[in-house]
Structure 1
Amino acid sequence: MAGPGLLAHVLVSKFDDHVPLYRLNKIYARMGADVPDSTLLDWCGRAMKVLAPIIERIEAKVMAAPVLHADDTPIRVLDRSRRDRGLGKGVKQGRVWAYVSDQRPWAGTAPPGVVYRFSPDRKGKHPRQHLQNSSGILQADAYAGFGQLYERRADGSSQFREAACWAHLRRDFHDVWEATTSEIAREALDRIGKL
C-alpha cells in the first residue's frame, strides 16, 4: 500500500510535471521498485476519488467567476491500439482546456483558480459543454468553437460577453504587414504595442 508521500509524488509527477505513468514505472524500476502501470493508475484513480470533494469545490468557484480566461493546448495521449498497427509510437492528439479565474490584477479579492478539462479532440462542443453553467465575460482566442457562447439570444442577452485577446488579433495584423507592408497594419501594430 502506498503512503501519502508516495501518492503525492505520483500525483505531482503525473499532473504537475506531466510524467506519464509508464515513465514513472520505468523510473521506479531503476530504483528497484516494480510498480506496474496498472497499480499507478489505480492509485491515481483512488486518490482522485478522495480528492473529489475538494476538486469539485474549486471547480464550482472557478466556473462561477464573473470573468473567465479560456484556452486549450494539444497534448500527446498514449494509444496502445495504434502501436499494434504500426502507427508511430502509439500516441494520438488530445486537448487540455484551461479555464482560469484571476482578478488580482484588477484589485479582485477572490483567490485565483484554474480548472482543467480533457477532450479527445478540439471540437467546439467541448468548451460549450464545459462552460454550460457559466456566464459573464470570457476572454479567449479567436477559436470558432467559442463563437456560440457569445451569440445573442432572442431576448438580446448572451451567455458570455467576449473579451477578445489582443495578442491573437495582433498576429493577424502582423501577418498582413509581413505579406503586404500595409501602412494600416503597421499602424495597428504600433497602437497595440503601446497598449
Structure 2
Amino acid sequence: MTETEVTEIEVIEKKKVVRHQERKNSQGRAAFLDSLPQIEELTPLEDTQCPTCQHEMKKIGKRVNSREVELIPPQLRCINHCQETYKCQECEKKTGETVIKSSKTPQLLLPHSLVSGSILAEVANYKFNLAVPIHRQKKIWERLGLPVNKSSLVRSVISVSETYLEPLVNLMTKEIRKEPVVHMDETPIKVLDEPSQRGYLWVIRTTKEFSKYPIIQFNYRHGRKGKTVEELVGDDYRGIIECDDYVAYNEDKHEQIKFGACLVHIRRWFINIIKDSRKILKKSLAIQIVKRIGKIFEIERKR
C-alpha cells in the first residue's frame, strides 16, 4: 500500500475546510482607540503673539495631533460599607415603642482580613492562570502598599476554596455519580515537588447525549493507579465509563462498572496496522473498519 493511500485513510470522512485569509483592518488601531474612555490633554500655545506684526492672535480651533494608550496602575482604596438606619416616629408617638430597621450590607468574603474579594481574585488569577508563585506576588502587593505576607495570602486562598468552592465541587461530584455514562481519561503533568516531577490529571466529564448538566472535573493524583477510578465515581457506581484501553480501566478490578471502548483509540490500532502493512489490500478488514468508524464520526459531527 502506498504512503498516499495510507494518508487518505487517516483523513477519511473528514471534511475539507478552506480557510480564507482575513484582510488586515487598517482601521483596527483607530477603532480600538475609539472604544476606550477618552481623555483630552490640551497643550496650550505659550506665545500667542503674531511673529509678523506682534499683535495678539485669536484662537481658531484645535486638532488631535497624536493618540496613545495609557495604562492606569492599580491602586488600593478603602470601601466603607455603610448601613442606613430608619426609626418609626409614628410608633414611638402612639405606643412609645422604638422600631428601628437597618439595611443589610454585603457579606465580606473574608471578614476582618485585608484580603478582599477583588484582591483574592487577582491573587488566584496570578497564581493559577499566569503561574506567578505566591512569594513573588507578595512583592507585587507590597509595591501597592498592601501589608500582607505570603502566609496570609496562602491562607486566604485555602480558606475561600474550602468555604465556597469545595461545596460546589462536591455537588459536581454528586451529579457526576448519578450519570449512566461518563467519560474518563488521565494525562501527565509536570510537578516540581513530586519525586519524578510528574503527576497526573484525571479528567471526568458528563456526556452530551445523556447528561442533564455539562460537567468537566479535573482531579490531581500522584499516579495512574486503578483505585483512582472508584475514587472519582464512587464504590457503588454501576454505570458505563467511556475510556481508552489503559489497564486501570478493567472490569476484573471494578466488577460493578462497565467500560466502553473509545472509538478514537480503537481506530488508532487499525491505522497502525495499515501503516505497518505496505501490501495491505484496499478491501482489507482494517481499512473497512477505519471507513466504518469514519462514518460514525461523521454522524456525530452532524448532531
Confirm or deny a common fold (TM above 0.5): yes
Contact 1:73 1:95 in 2 (8 A): yes
Q: From the superposition, tell whether residues 14 and 99 of structure 1 become closer, same or farther in structure 2 (CA, over 3 Å).
A: farther
Aligned length: 174
Corresponding position of 1:128: 230
Match of 1:184 among 262, 281, 285: 285
Corresponding position of 1:78: 192
Residue type at the aligned position of 2:122? H
Residue type at the aligned position of 2:191? V
Q: Percent identity?
A: 24
* 1:30, distance to aligned residue in structure 2 (A): 5.4
1:113 aligned onto 2:215? yes
Q: Which has the higher strand share?
A: 1
Contact 2:138 2:150 in 1 (8 A): no
Contact 1:21 1:40 in 2 (8 A): no
1:166 aligned onto 2:263? yes
Contact 1:128 1:146 in 2 (8 A): no
TM-score, scaled to structure 2 = 0.50
Q: From the superposition, tell whether residues 123 and 187 of structure 1 become closer, same or farther in structure 2 (CA, over 3 Å).
A: same
Contact 2:236 2:256 in 1 (8 A): no
Contact 1:67 1:137 in 2 (8 A): yes
What SS does structure 2 have at the residue aligned with 1:117?
A: strand
What SS does structure 2 have at the residue aligned with 1:55?
A: helix
* 1:5, distance to aligned residue in structure 2 (A): 2.0
What SS does structure 2 have at the residue aligned with 1:6?
A: helix
TM-score, scaled to structure 1 = 0.74
1:1-195 alignment runs, 5 A limit: 1-12=114-125, 14-15=127-128, 17=129, 19-22=130-133, 25-26=135-136, 29=139, 32=143, 38-51=151-164, 52-79=166-193, 92-103=197-208, 106=209, 108=210, 110-131=212-233, 132-147=235-250, 150-151=251-252, 158-181=255-278, 182=280, 183-195=284-296
Corresponding position of 2:98: none
Residue type at the aligned position of 2:241? L
1:109 and 1:130 map into 2 onto residues whose CA distance is 17
* 1:134, distance to aligned residue in structure 2 (A): 2.3
1:36 and 1:142 map into 2 onto residues whose CA distance is 47
Larger Rg computed on CA atoms = 2
Contact 1:95 1:119 in 2 (8 A): yes
Q: From the superposition, tell whether residues 30 and 21 of structure 1 become closer, same or farther in structure 2 (CA, over 3 Å).
A: closer
User: What do you get for the CA RMSD once the two structures are aligned?
Assistant: 2.9
Residue type at the aligned position of 2:293? I
What SS does structure 2 have at the residue aligned with 1:115?
A: strand
Q: Which has the higher helix share?
A: 1
What SS does structure 2 have at the residue aligned with 1:78?
A: coil
Q: From the superposition, tell whether residues 13 and 177 of structure 1 become closer, same or farther in structure 2 (CA, over 3 Å).
A: farther
* 1:2, distance to aligned residue in structure 2 (A): 1.4
2:215 and 2:245 map into 1 onto residues whose CA distance is 23
